Amino acid sequence: MTASSKSYPNLPTPQHIAALAAEVEREPKDLVNKITLANALEQTGDVIKAAAFYREAIAQDPDGIYGSVARKALETLERSDGWREANSSETGKPLSESKLSLGEGLESTVSPQPLMLRMRVAGSRITNAWQHFNFRTKLAIVLIISTALPIVVITQGIVTVTRDTLLQKARQSLQRDGSYFNEDYVMWSVDEAQTEADTIARLVETLKIDLNSQSQVSAYRQQLQTYMESLKVSDESDSVEKNLRIVTDARGRTVAQYIQTLSPVSFNPSAEQLQLSPQYQPVSLPLGINVADIPIVQNALRTGKTLQGMELWKEDFLKRLGQDKQANIRLQSPAQAAQPSTASQSSIDGGKAALVGVVVHPIEIDNRVVGTVIVASVENRNFLNNDSLKQRVGIPISAVYAQDWRISSNIPASDGKTRDIGTRSPQAIAATVLGKGQEVIAKTTIAGAEYLGIYQPLYDHQQELNPTKAKPVGMTFVARPMSELDELLAQQQKTAYGIGAGMLLIAALMAIPIASTFARPLRRLAEFAQAVGEGKQGERLENSQRGDEIGILARQLNAMTANIEANLEAMRTSETRQRQEKERLQRGMINLLLETETVKHGDLTVRAKVSQGETGAISDAFNTVIASLREIVLQVKSAAEQVQISAVDSEASVEKLACEANTQAETVAEALTSVEEMEQSIQAIASSAQTAATIARQALDAAQDSDRTMDETVNSMETLRANVWETTVKAKRLAESSQEISKIVSIISTISEKTNVLAFNAAIEATRAGENGKGFRLVANEVRRLAERVTDATKEIDRLVRTIQQGTSDVLKTMEVSNASVAIGTQLVTRTKTNLQDMAQIGQEIDQLLQSISVRTVSQADNSCMVNQTMQTVAAIAQTTSTESAAVLSTLQELLEVARELQLSVSRFRVED
């Protein structure tokens, strides 16, 4: 059943209904709980079951107050909409079938016995059991608990302090491990690269190789490449192999290089397989690779400083240097790619970027930068650091991140065959480490086990150039299993709890004899009290001479027992006298009742016989009351007759007054309607006037803005005119200068032609001189070629000068036309400004008139509003008068009816003999 005729703000909960049902089942005769349960079911919409409980209450108490309450509630329920809906949904179903059964019906309405009820029952059972314990047991329990509580608190405090201390030490140890991995493993490859770059740079500087001279580079290239290849890490070494060893010129183009990349067989070994000797393969690339656009190279060439750091290189840089296959890890799944992250997809190039440990060392010869040495190692898939840390230091878990993207680790992947790379770190951790540059210590779950790990930031070369603004480009991560800490903590807990249990056992052994010492005298007191309670006389406590509280209690109980026995004897004697007096008083009361029996039929002329004793005083008081009641009845009878006469006389007048008040209210209502219509009209006029005033003000403001704009336009056109004139003058000067350049070019052309002739003649003379003139002939030929190049250049310059002269002439013509147009525009703008000023003056006058109209209409609207309020007050008073008149008339009629009923009631009394 879900229908209900009422809307209850706070519906009973199923637990509350279940508790009521349990109470009714325990006490079926408790009508209060039964009616309360029916009301709760009615509120939840289960009207059929509520009606069944109401009927049970009526059947159990048909004539009592509970039956009356249930009957009234049932009548209200059967008149409700919810009852009709419930009956319509159960058409043809006998009412007996919908009657609630405590064992079955509530299962569809409420949940099983709620937790709170079970707790109350358990608490009641514990209380009952405690009350049945003897004093010795209770005292022993209290002593044990009072001793156990401090022991438990102290033990738990020791365990808590120990746990916090161990956790703090674990955090400090983890910070040392993280710094060790960061500085001595990940960044150690950068330090090694620094050493190699310094060595190569010193070699170039010692040989004084000008890297910008192709001939010198060609002469020493093979020696440089052989030396760089010799720096390759051997299989027995612990160092990290370098992917790039490059020498560039001052423009950032490679002139000598030794490049290698990780072999595919070492791309992703299993987590259990230690990769301490990864395999690399050489990469053959042509010389002349442009690396000048790589930020660290660009900044090193600009500043002349050696720069190093963990750089985030995108796919474009990696492809140029043959490292794209090793770097290409990609995100593990589309869900990882769509995951919100502190790092954008572009910063890691969709999983194709790489974190590279780079050192760029500028090479200086004669205080001039002639090139750079670049040594770098790619961290993507570089598992040597992770496995070396695990083997040598015993740190089981480590990883390196480019931004929040894992690029190397010894964490097993979900398939259990490879390592977990290409996944992202939690967003909150990345936000703290990458966004704020702060390390984070957090718990994490790896392969089903819980670990405590630390994340620390990695920086690029910007930390060296601008430490305050540098942002992390990656992270390192190391972790240790929480099981180590848990085992140590468990040992501490066992020791602490073992000591506490021993202390508790000692306290329990001491508490039992102490409790027995206190319990024996109390047990004797209880036996004595039980004997006295059973009515035994002559019982007395022994050992009542003790000086403690038990001795005092024993003496007082003995005295109390003696007093009780004396009082019992006195009570027996007094009880006999009271019974005799009671019988005499009952006989007198029976006689008084027989004498006054006719009073209940309205006879107020009866007189009771006054005798001595208690019944005589009651008879005298009864006669006095009857006499007073007779006088009151006479007065009421007289007053009822007078009220009836007055009510009949006033009925016609009040009825006339009610009609006139009703007519007055209708007239005032019609007047109020007219006043409201007038007020609405005035308010509409006022609103229109205010709107017109606002529009006029806006028009005035627009005209004034246009006036200011015109002033600015005139000033701008004057400035433009001056600028056009100045540009014209400069263009003329440019034309004159180009003519001078043309003359100079003509002179240079003549000189070059003569030089060419002289060189030709000198070559002929050198030929005639034979071997002695061979060197002179080469010089003459070179001079002739130079003269030819000068002639060609002068021709090109002459062509460009002619083009400039033609363009300058066109510009001069355009400038003259623009100057004339600006002058005409200035005149037109001046005339427009004058017209706008006239419009602004007219708009100001219109605005003043509309403001005056608006103020007056608003004043009229306020007055009409006050009149309307006054009329509403009058109408309300008239309506109230009409209502009160009708009420007075109705009350008068009721008073007349009451007076008639009062006369009828008084007529039943007999007041005269």
pLDDT of res. 201: 92
Count the residues in the chain. Answer: 913
The distance of Cα 631 from the centroid of its chain, to the nearest Å, equals 82
Mean pLDDT of 676-681: 73
Residue-wise pLDDT for 458-510, tens only, equals: 999 999 899 888 999 999 999 999 887 788 778 777 887 787 788 778 877 77
Check whether 4 has a pLDDT greater than 60: no
Pairwise pLDDT comparison (575 vs 251), residue with the higher score: 251
Residue-wise pLDDT for 424-443, tens only, equals: 889 999 999 999 999 999 98
Structure tokens, 865:
């509003």
pLDDT of res. 360: 96
Query: What is the DSSP-derived secondary structure letter of residue 103?
Result: T
pLDDT of res. 344: 46
Three-state helix/strand/coil letters over 491-544: HHHHHHHHHHHHHHHHHHHHHHHHHHHHHHHHHHHHHHHHHHHCCCCCCCCCCC
Q: Return d(Cα 704, Cα 713) in angstroms, integer.
A: 14
Check whether 313 has a pLDDT greater than 80: yes
Q: Return d(Cα 300, Cα 203) in angstroms, integer.
A: 19
The distance of Cα 738 from the centroid of its chain, to the nearest Å, equals 74
pLDDT of res. 108: 40
> Highest mean pLDDT: which of 121-125, 404-408, 524-528?
404-408
Per the CB < 8 A criterion, the answer to whether 199 and 392 are in contact is no
Q: Return d(Cα 493, Cα 156) in angstroms, integer.
A: 9
Q: Return d(Cα 538, Cα 576) in angstroms, integer.
A: 25
What is the rounded average pLDDT for all residues in the chain?
A: 77
- Helix pair 31-43, 65-78: axis angle to 10 deg: 10
Share of the chain above pLDDT 90, in %: 14
- Pick the range with the lowest mean pLDDT from 253-267, 388-402, 844-858: 844-858
Per the CB < 8 A criterion, the answer to whether 727 and 793 are in contact is no
Pairwise pLDDT comparison (881 vs 772), residue with the higher score: 881
Edge-to-edge strands of the sheet including 397-402? Answer: 405-409, 397-402, 472-481, 449-459, 440-446
Mean pLDDT of 312-328: 90
Residue of 294, 307, 403 whose CA lies nearest to 352 = 403
> Highest mean pLDDT: which of 413-417, 550-554, 569-573, 735-739?
413-417
Mean pLDDT of 62-75: 78
Q: Return d(Cα 461, Cα 36) in angstroms, integer.
A: 79
Structure tokens, 684:
């509409």
Residue-wise pLDDT for 109-118, tens only, equals: 434 445 666 6
Amino acid at 302: R
Q: Are β-strands 280-282 and 254-262 bridged in parallel, bridged antiparallel, or unpaired? A: antiparallel
Instruction: List the end-to-end C-alpha distance of the chain, in Å, as a whole number.
Output: 69
- Pick the range with the lowest mean pLDDT from 371-375, 558-562, 588-592: 588-592
Share of the chain above pLDDT 70, in %: 78
Q: Does the reported pTM lie above 0.95?
A: no
Q: Assign residue 353 a region: left if phi > 0, alpha if psi is -120 to 50, beta otherwise? A: beta
Check whether 249 has a pLDDT greater than 80: yes
Residue of 183, 853, 266 whose CA lies nearest to 456 = 183
pLDDT of res. 105: 41
Alpha-helical regions (H) of 394-481: 427-436, 462-465
At 454, the pLDDT band (50, 70, 90 cuts) reads: very high
Q: Return d(Cα 419, Cα 584) in angstroms, integer.
A: 111
Mean pLDDT of 665-684: 73
Residue-wise pLDDT for 873-889, tens only, equals: 777 777 777 777 777 76
Per the CB < 8 A criterion, the answer to whether 334 and 179 are in contact is no
The string over 291-311, giving b where at least 16 C-beta atoms fall within 10 Å of a residue's C-beta and e elsewhere, is beebbbbebbbeeeebbbbbb
3-state secondary structure of 133: coil
Check whether 31 has a pLDDT greater than 80: no
pLDDT of res. 333: 55
Mean pLDDT of 778-791: 74
Pairwise pLDDT comparison (753 vs 388), residue with the higher score: 388
Check whether 632 has a pLDDT greater than 60: yes
Mean pLDDT of 803-814: 74
